[in-house]
Structure 1
């Protein structure tokens, strides 16, 4: 099987997490800004699309070279054997971006790359007329940074955060892969209680349940490369069968999502039903200030409102104060709270054990972590109640 240079793209701040996921799947990786590089066959492309919880896309790195003129961009792009990737009827849109480069006009770069590919394919396939572009979609990107050109082919299609279960969402929803990252950055294990006190449309509890039962996050969706003529259906079927066998559908989980808004609880329940996890997660209407528990060694993960608008700031900071008061007695619990309010600790009433800078979309946020002190059985097991 042919080996490709591959990269998993991701949000800023979670590259190490994507690298860890890939290493756990058995790959040698190189972690870079906003992406993780690795090598693999078409089977690996499908496997990583299926299993990566925190990445955005899997791309084939077709070529990398320096280009300071459009002539150079054209000639070097034309030298690539595009016919090894694109059939005669391939529909290949070209997207582009450029930073700190002499070739700063993105539309021109896109059009030059498109023209060079058409030229190479026409010569190879002996076409005198236009290429039909009526077949499967092969999305190509030309990315230029400091005059270094990178040509990639996207294998994913809709971003990996689109798991397929979110049929409804509230305002400012958290992307599914970001929600998974928030869970993976905690100390939570499937035998521990898990609470999201401001669950919104239920994304964080649903991602926790997928992790808890080891369900492949891409199991219920398709990837654009599955329609390509050189990707055998049998590979996809085999990997999905393997993923199904690896899932631990019998794992008992203690996951609860609360929200002050009953409408959001109804939405969460619908999304959990769509994900096939409705029996694993409890969703209940409750305000943060009313939360109490006798359980031990749990984990709280919260993505509360950030108070970006001044008009919202007062009520949001009141919520942070309530969290501080309610969670203080829970000594064995660890609490993880994501917000863009850098003064969060002051209102919460305590300094975080650790902070981690993450980007929620384009917004800079901090993940404030307050680590609990677990209580252990004398046999060396954690207590949970």
Structure 2
């Protein structure tokens, strides 16, 4: 009988549904989406696969404690009761992070200190020394989540956040996180054999993520994970899973992925990222103005993250841009599904097209929308 462990995968808010579908495809059981992530359970190998293959999760957290509390001392006792030296060696550095929703205790920083003390006290009692704290680049991260009366303690099996794939070489202004881009692609319903266009591609995040999906490339193929620093790490099993992932890749798969931008330096960044990910030949990239370029083929999916303004002069410029985007869609992209991801909620009104779907998403704490426009000739223009 395989041992069952309980996990939680946080993700950008709004992507919980597509993350739940992805985890089910990976073999997760007991899938329970909640605000900001998905709880699930399975064996140790499932945790390896989720880290290696999840395009949407931010981390894979292993749940060690889930119980009620009333005071800081209760939290200390719950953490102290764990056999920490059985989980990892004293030479590993640690970091404790605490978040709370409705927690009535005075200081989350003090709770983090109490949990750190509990871990160190467990090591001192068993082996006479304690692990060091490294807040910048720890070997292992411990996460504590508190509601008003319930504490949940997790050990982070991922290490660096999973959106840090390891391929990015260049960034544009405020690049889209890779897992948010992958989740948006899932929300559009894009299939890997459909044409895809990003006409404002920036540093190429949508393009790289789409090409990796089309070629069945695991997003974690380039990077290392914190679970390799746990005593329970099974190197042979991990090597087998990585080899299976590499064998499943389809480097010769025909793709129909297109990208463009009107700034040469930005295109250079996109080309660097495509090359680093090994998918340069999967994407047709060109210099073009999004307002002037034509559809590369008759039907397909357009997805992009247009600029949005903070300052007044930027908003004035966008007031003129958005109607022109709508006009370009109407004139040149009949037969396409178009998706705009934006934090500027004025886009839906100013683009002067009727959105067929509006999905609420969050980019960090920033509330955004994914607007869908189905471009059927003569049917989308709003009446004046």
TM-score (ref. length: structure 1): 0.91
Hey, what does 2:149 align to over in structure 1? Answer: 147
Distance 2:338 2:120 in 1: 54
- 1:1-385 to structure 2, matched below 5 A, reads 1-28=2-29, 29-123=31-125, 125-127=126-128, 130-133=129-132, 137-293=139-295, 295-329=297-331, 330-372=333-375
In 2 relative to 1, CA 350–134 (structure 1 residues): closer, same or farther, beyond 3 Å?
A: closer
Stretch moving more, 80-89 or 345-354: 80-89
Stretch moving more, 271-280 or 97-106: 97-106
What displacement does 1:343 show?
2.2
Runs of 4+ in 1 over 6 A off after TM superposition: none
Stretch moving more, 261-270 or 82-91: 82-91
Distance 2:296 2:101 in 1: 54
What is the Cα-based RMSD across aligned positions, in Å?
A: 1.9
What displacement does 1:291 show?
1.1
What displacement does 1:311 show?
1.4
Q: 1:143-166: per-residue Cα shift (whole Å, max 9, x none)?
A: 212131111100111111111111
In 2 relative to 1, CA 354–195 (structure 1 residues): closer, same or farther, beyond 3 Å?
A: same
Please state whether the residue corresponding to 1:290 is helix, strand or coil.
coil
In 2 relative to 1, CA 87–307 (structure 1 residues): closer, same or farther, beyond 3 Å?
A: same
What displacement does 1:370 show?
1.2
The 8 Å contact of residues 98 and 105 in structure 1, kept in 2 or not, is answered as no
Unaligned runs of 5+ in 1: 375-385
Distance 2:131 2:178 in 1: 37
In 2 relative to 1, CA 218–305 (structure 1 residues): closer, same or farther, beyond 3 Å?
A: same
Distance 2:57 2:91 in 1: 30
Please state whether the residue corresponding to 2:291 is helix, strand or coil.
helix
Distance 1:324 1:134 in 2: 53
Unaligned runs of 5+ in 2: 378-384
Distance 1:70 1:294 in 2: 61
Please state whether the residue corresponding to 1:289 is helix, strand or coil.
coil
What displacement does 1:106 show?
1.3
TM-score (ref. length: structure 2): 0.92
Distance 1:152 1:34 in 2: 15
Hey, what does 2:381 align to over in structure 1? Answer: none
The 8 Å contact of residues 96 and 110 in structure 1, kept in 2 or not, is answered as yes
Aligned residue pairs total: 371
Distance 2:94 2:3 in 1: 21
Q: 1:38-68: per-residue Cα shift (whole Å, max 9, x none)?
A: 1123221111011110110000011011222
Distance 2:246 2:81 in 1: 42
What displacement does 1:7 show?
0.8
Q: 1:13-54: per-residue Cα shift (whole Å, max 9, x none)?
A: 111111010011122211111111111232211110111101
